[in-house]
A and B are shown apart, each in its own frame.
Chain A
Amino acid sequence: MMGYIWGGMVIAAFFFGIANGQLQSVAEAALSGAESAVTMAFSLLGMMCFWSGMLEIAKRSGLTDWLARLIRPLTKILFPKLSPDSPALRAMVMNMTANFLGLSNAATPLGLAAMHELDKINPNKDTASDEMCMFVVINTASISLLPTTVITMRAAAGSIDPFSIILPVWICSICSVTVGVIVAKYLSRRNKRRRF
């Protein structure tokens, strides 16, 4: 999929470059683009290290576990059929906490562990259960405490207030997660009514 988009962009650049007589600047753009990718990565490097370091501290001190306990009540609404101490629920809660803190390296293995636990209690092996759908939808919608990457990129681009987007990001992610959850709940109920 990504191969087609990427290849398409390069091919389109060639033909549009010829049509607009801009082939010279297309060539220059390839060089400067590759260079600016490195500049961008380096501008992100410091913050990425610092934030990952901070999060490792949070993980070792047990702050993540504490946060996970804090969101337990919410999971009762999202996954009403699971018992509060099922291994699936525990893995999902840890995954959501990791995502919330921006620990994406830790979140994916936890999420996959949760999917395996959900798979064990799924009666139809090749069809997603309600819990799986809900969990995946929450994961695709992303709620994060600090959008550090974007903040750093804004700072690197010379923003006068790189942090200004924090509150809008929170509101925006809460809205999109809420819509995702409501649609998932609604569709799962409608499907059931149709089947029985």
Chain B
Amino acid sequence: MLHSLSASVMPVIFLIIIGFAMIKKVDIFDAFLCGAKDGLKSLFSILPALVGLIAAISMFRASGALEFLTTLLSPVTRLLGIPAQIMPLALLRPVSGSGALAIVGDLLTSAGPDSMVGHIASVIMGSTETTFYTLAVYYGAVKIKNSRHSVPAALCADLTGLFVGTWICYLFFR
């Protein structure tokens, strides 16, 4: 039941968007083409970053360094109840969006998209943001030097995402 509900979200959103636009007499196909072109551009703009990062992560994994890192972190992750393979993602997510995307892609192929690790990685990726990038861009734009409590509050939100994302997957996908 839950799964069919999740899957029907997307078509329902399409229906609302198209229906509303038709009532408002928007030239929908023209708008669609215009937006799709933007989508194309934004994907190509992140492609160089993806190539660099995925190549580096693949090398990192092939050399055995990733395994070493996850073993090193496993006492911490066991204590927190988070799979050790998730840790590199959790550490990189607030810093780099394309880096996190590269790790998720790596985990989805190495552990499988329907494995527990695959689910947790997907949920964390979908529900968090590139915190430090956002902080830098937004405060940099208005030359704020003292960000006061923004960083601790934003990191609390990220940590909540990490824990809730893990627990909820254990609850949903047993």
Within 8 A of A (CB), among B26-75: 26-28, 31-40, 42-44, 46-47, 50-65, 68
Q: Does A86 contact B (CB under 8 A)?
A: no
Chain B residues with a Cβ closer than 8 Å to the other chain, count = 107
Chain A contacts of B68 at CB under 8 A?
16
- Quick check: B160 and A175 within 8 Å, CB to CB? yes
Whether B55 contacts A34 by the Cβ 8 Å rule is yes
Contact-residue bracket for chain A: 35 or more
CB-nearest residue of chain A to B65: A16
**CB-defined interface of B102-134 with A at 8 Å, one 1/0 digit per residue?**
101100110011100011001111111111101
Closest Cβ–Cβ distance, residue B58 to chain A (whole Å) = 3
Q: Are B59 and A33 in contact (CB under 8 A)?
A: yes
Against B, the Cβ 8 Å flags (1 = close, 0 = not) of A123-148 are 00111100011011101111011110
Tell me if A20 is interfacial: C-beta within 8 Å of chain B.
yes
* Residue among A57, A171, A172 making CB contact with B26, cutoff 8 Å: A57
Given A32-B58, A48-B42, A153-B104: A171 touches B129 (CB 8 Å cut-off): no
Given contacts A61-B23, A128-B139, A142-B129, 11 further A-B contacts (CB under 8 A): A6-B52, A26-B59, A48-B40, A49-B36, A52-B38, A57-B17, A61-B20, A66-B20, A115-B139, A139-B138, A188-B148
Interface positions of A (Cβ within 8 A of B): 1-2, 5-6, 9-10, 12-17, 19-20, 22-23, 25-26, 28-34, 36-38, 40-41, 44-45, 48-63, 66, 104-105, 108, 111-112, 115-116, 118-119, 125-128, 132-133, 135-137, 139-142, 144-147, 149-151, 153-154, 157-173, 175-177, 179-180, 183-184, 187-188, 191
